[in-house]
Amino acid sequence: MGTRTSTAQTITPGTEATVLTLTGVPTTASANQVKVDAEFQVNVTGLVAVGFNVIARLYRDFGGPNQLLLAEQVNSGVVEIITAIVIPAIVSGDVTAVDNLAALAPITESYTLRIQVDLLVAVAATVTVTNRAINVVVGSVAPA
């Protein structure tokens, strides 16, 4: 079960933004482990050399603003000064977690991928999230 999109989404540097949510993941008392895999691609362009960190966070949603952080992955990149305007720096990454749920009656869960890009040096930088996906396996799964 999963979801994927390649629709470009511009995000504000320094702010965590939801880039994809998977809803309706079914669990039962006997299938109460969920392995969650998420992948992403971030493009950064700027007028001068830009160093940046891409922080990907995977959450279990409880509805509203309540979320449980399951995993975090940090990747770094640099936009070279000569190509900064024409060719973006592209950082691809993934984050994986095993969500061990309480043995409950059948319920459904939701999982969200959120991205934050912290720019170390930037002039007129633009951050775009392009390809991203969340896939789950429900049942007895090996630890991430």
Residue 144 domain-assigned?
Answer: no
- How many domains, in total, are found in the chain? 1
Contact between 44 and 52 (Cβ < 8 Å): yes
Q: pLDDT for 20-43, tens place per residue?
A: 999 989 887 777 789 999 999 998
Tens of pLDDT along 57-101?
A: 999 987 667 789 999 999 988 766 555 566 778 889 999 999 988
Reply yes or no on whether the pLDDT at 19 is more than 80.
Answer: yes
SS (H, E, C) 90-142: EEEEEEEEEEECCCCCCEEEEEEEEEEEEECCCCCCEEEEEEEEEEEEECCCC
Task: Determine the structural domain holding residue 85 and report its residue range.
Answer: 2-138
Which tops the pLDDT comparison, 48 or 120?
120
Tell me if 143 is assigned to some domain: no
